[in-house]
Amino acid sequence: MDEITIGLRLRTLRRWRGMTLAELAGQAGMSTSYLSMAERGLRALDRRSFIASLAAALQVSETELIGRPHLGTDHAQAAPHAHIPALRTALETNSLYQDPVVERARPVRELASLMAGPLEAHRRRYDFITVGQQLPDLIDELHYHLGDPADEADQHLALQTLVEAYMCAAGMARSLGHPDLGHIAASRADDAAVMLGDPIARGKAAFSLIRPSASNWSRVKVLAARAADRLQPHVQSTRDMQVLGMLTLNAALASAATLDGATAEHWPDEADRLATHVPDNMTDNWQAFGRTNVAIWRITVGVEYGEAGAQVADKARAVDEEKLHGHAARRACFLSDVGRGLARDRRTRREALTWFRRAEDAAPQRVRNDAKVHESIAVMLEQAKVNAGGRELRGMASRMGIPH
């Protein structure tokens, strides 16, 4: 299927299943009118919960419904995908319990410095091309040190670095439309954390593993809350508090996806309370946790819950964008989520494109491969075929590999 919106693919899959709109709407817990407009490309299906519910009702994978990845001629959009095969090989051929696949490796401290320094900097810019060039070899070499460690300290450092490396791999794979590969990488991070025996490392791995992308949202919500509760007694430092804070934000997003509004509001409030004890430094804090990042996640959670238009714009004004300049990844996510929320309301739709363009400037490789932004742009394109904003919209569609 080469339809450009999820709604158009939905229509093909629904007819293949022999289901009426009313039957599908009933099973997915959505309105018939909304699905009708989505199938005509006039409403966006850009919420994780909608995609999961529809895929479950149709008995297909979410990837089949999303139809990702779409590769175009734009270098920033297409080139990162060339590194997925090597990443897949590194994930599939390494194990904590087998001999290493390489015969030599750089010193483990050099590998740890590479992961914490240059690779982390590239991750924060969503520079998947550079990460993809270096990460598979890094994973191979870290496993070499597990198989033949110089001493216990080297083994400990190799495991710590593997947790971060596998989390980086999970983020890259998911961002490029490979959720199953992302889950494998996150599971490897959890395995390394378990072997390490460090509850904080397990909390980090849980942030990557228990992501709101599975079809059973209620289970994800429970697992996210349990991970936060399990970590709580072990929090001793501000760094530990940052890990706990990110787990609470994960729980908030999962709660929004289950339409549990009260819990979706509770967790960001809890995260904000934790953030008051942490310096608001996005470039130094783990996963950029701090009050600014909590404000960004409030938008992410709200958009997942269904907020749109002025409500999203109000939350955007609460974010101090000056604090985002050192962290292109969080800046791009913030701008993208605001754009998605504005695109849902005809009164603010024209503003959405400006936010998407700013997000694209911040992290082109990520934004041009973002399935949710892709859906918003594709639907806006359908809505704006006769409107003066169409030329600008078609330009962005072209860079994202959307037929226009």
Q: Which own/partner contact pairs does 71-78 have at CB distance under 8 Å and 24+ positions apart?
A: 71/401, 72/398, 72/399, 72/400, 72/401, 72/402, 73/401, 74/368, 74/398, 74/399, 74/400, 74/401, 76/364, 76/365, 76/368, 76/399, 77/364, 77/365, 77/368, 77/369, 77/399, 77/400, 77/401, 78/401
How would DSSP label each residue in 102-162? -S----HHHHHHHIIIIIHHHHHTT-HHHHHHHHHHHHHHHHHHHHS-SSHHHHHHHHHHH
Q: Please tell me the predicted confidence (pLDDT) of residue 49.
A: 82
Other C-beta atoms lying within 10 Å of the C-beta of residue 154: 17
Residue 205 and residue 93 share a domain:
yes
Q: Is the residue at 337 inside a domain?
A: yes
Domain match, 55 and 148 both = no
pLDDT < 70 positions in the chain: 1-3, 68-70, 212-215, 384-391, 403-404
pLDDT at residue 1, rounded to an integer: 42
Its pTM stands at 0.87
Which residue reads 């754009």 in tokens? 339
Residue 275 forms part of a structural domain = yes
Encode pLDDT of 300-319 as tens digits.
999 999 999 999 999 999 99
Q: Are residues 200 and 88 in the same domain?
A: yes
Same domain, 95 and 189: yes
Type of residue found at 328: A
**CATH code assigned at 29:** 1.10.260.40
Please indicate, yes or no, whether residues 114 and 231 belong to a single structural domain of this protein: no
The Cα–Cα gap between 296 and 272 comes to: 11
Domain that holds residue 178: 72-209
Q: Is 14 within the bounds of a domain?
A: yes
Cβ neighbours for 273, distance < 8 A, ≥ 6 positions apart:
none
Clarify whether residues 76 and 32 are in a common domain.
no
Measured CA to CA, the distance from residue 200 to residue 154 in angstroms comes to 19
Entry field: residues in the chain: 404
Q: Are residues 139 and 234 in the same domain?
A: no
Task: Verify that 355 and 385 share a domain, yes or no.
Answer: yes
Q: Is residue 274 part of a domain?
A: yes
Say if 376 falls within a structural domain: yes
Residues 187 and 61 in one domain: no
Domain end position, chosen among 44, 67, 90: 67
Question: Same domain for 205 and 225?
Answer: no
Decide if 388 is inside a domain. yes
State both tokens at 265.
């509001």
- Considering the domain architecture, whether residues 78 and 148 belong to the same structural domain is answered as yes
Picking from 23, 46, 67, the residue at the C-terminal end of a domain is: 67
Alpha-carbon distance of 366 to 235, in angstroms, equals 32
Contacts of 389 (CB under 8 A, 6+ apart): 350, 353
Q: Same domain for 218 and 205?
A: no
Residue 52: predicted pLDDT: 82
Number of domains in the chain: 4
Tracing tokens 């819990």 back to the chain, one arrives at 263
